[in-house]
Amino acid sequence: MNIETIEQRIQQQIPHCITTTKHQGKKYVGKVRDTYDLGKQLAIMTTDRLSAFDRQLTAIPFKGEVLNRLSAWWFQQTQHIIANHVIDLPKSNTMNVKKCHVFPVEFVVRNYITGTTNTALWTLYKEGLREVNGYTLPEGLQKNQILPQIMITPTTKDKDHDRPITATEIIAEGRMTAAEWQQTSQAALALFAFGQQQADKNGVILVDTKYEFGKDANDNIILVDEIHTPDSSRYWLKASYHQRLVQQQEPENFDKEIIRLWYRQHCDPYNDKTLPAAPEELIIKVAKSYIQIFEILTQTDFFKET
């Protein structure tokens, strides 16, 4: 499908973005996903809502479908590393999953220093931070530069705002046992390495990501939530990365950093009571980038699969 046709499909979908969902069962509303308790399992419906800076910003056409289908693809690809919670996909934006106890920790894995939020590694580095979760950052790092080593920088899973937390604190606070931390952190690194290899083969860089884990009814640790989506991960175009780094330009990306950068340039997204509405051309650009990274990674036509 050519670019003009894709843009037309996106534009036509703007008034029909999925921002709320309906299903049987008790409903739990998250930042992006609506979860329904079906008794023995959960139905997770991924909406088109886009959240950043701890608030809802806008809705992006086809975003929910991209996230759901791309997660399903990655879950299938990574079963040799760790089992996951997927049962089936009854709809393009819906995933039926096993019920499990989810650890109240997000595993953030980073290979580059970047970001625009107040808690982003680059933001904190500019403010003088040099010690991060047992890692020491050297002086003189440049934004978007590769880190000396891959880092796991976990955060809590809080309703309004996640906070950084160390492995020692995770264990001391009873969020996980030492053995559980060891198993999940090793799985996170293995998943990230596999994701980077797959991305690299298709000309993109998996910059950073986040994972969530839980225990199923049989007490097995499994991967839950989402994996390697443009909501939970950053992806940069490999071909232009080095040149743009030298020129101190932002990398060509395929994730919601596009919209974060726009809001940073046009307002104070943390403190302004009312934020400007994202212009239609920005919404279309973000939707195109989500569809594009889906097609790059899966090597399939997004619209032919629907």
Q: Is the pLDDT of residue 159 over 70?
A: no
Q: How far apart are CA 299 and CA 279, in angstroms?
A: 30
161: confidence class by pLDDT, cuts 50, 70, 90: low
Chain-wide mean pLDDT for the chain?
A: 95
Cβ count near 304 (within 10 Å): 8
**C-alpha triplet 37, 66, 244: angle, nearest 5°:** 135
Mean predicted confidence (pLDDT) in 54-67: 96
Domains located in the chain, CATH noted: 3-298 (3.30.470.20)
The token pair that represents 86 in the structure block = 């997927």
CB 111 within 8 A of CB 150: yes
Counting residues of the chain whose pLDDT is more than 90, the rounded percentage is 90
Mean predicted confidence (pLDDT) in 290-296: 97
- Enumerate residues 6+ apart whose C-beta is below 8 A from 181: 167, 170, 171
What confidence tens digit (pLDDT) does each residue in 204-255 have?
999 999 999 999 999 999 999 999 999 999 999 999 999 999 999 999 999 8
The token pair that represents 27 in the structure block = 């409903």
What confidence tens digit (pLDDT) does each residue in 78-136 have?
999 999 999 999 999 999 999 999 999 999 999 999 998 888 999 999 999 999 988 99
**C-alpha triplet 87, 71, 250: angle, nearest 5°:** 170
**C-alpha triplet 230, 54, 56: angle, nearest 5°:** 70
CB burial string 152-173: b at 16+ within 10 A, e below: bbbbbbeeeebeebebeebeee
- Half-sphere exposure of 279 toward its Cβ, with a 13 Å CA cutoff? 7
pTM, whole model, 2 decimals?
Answer: 0.94
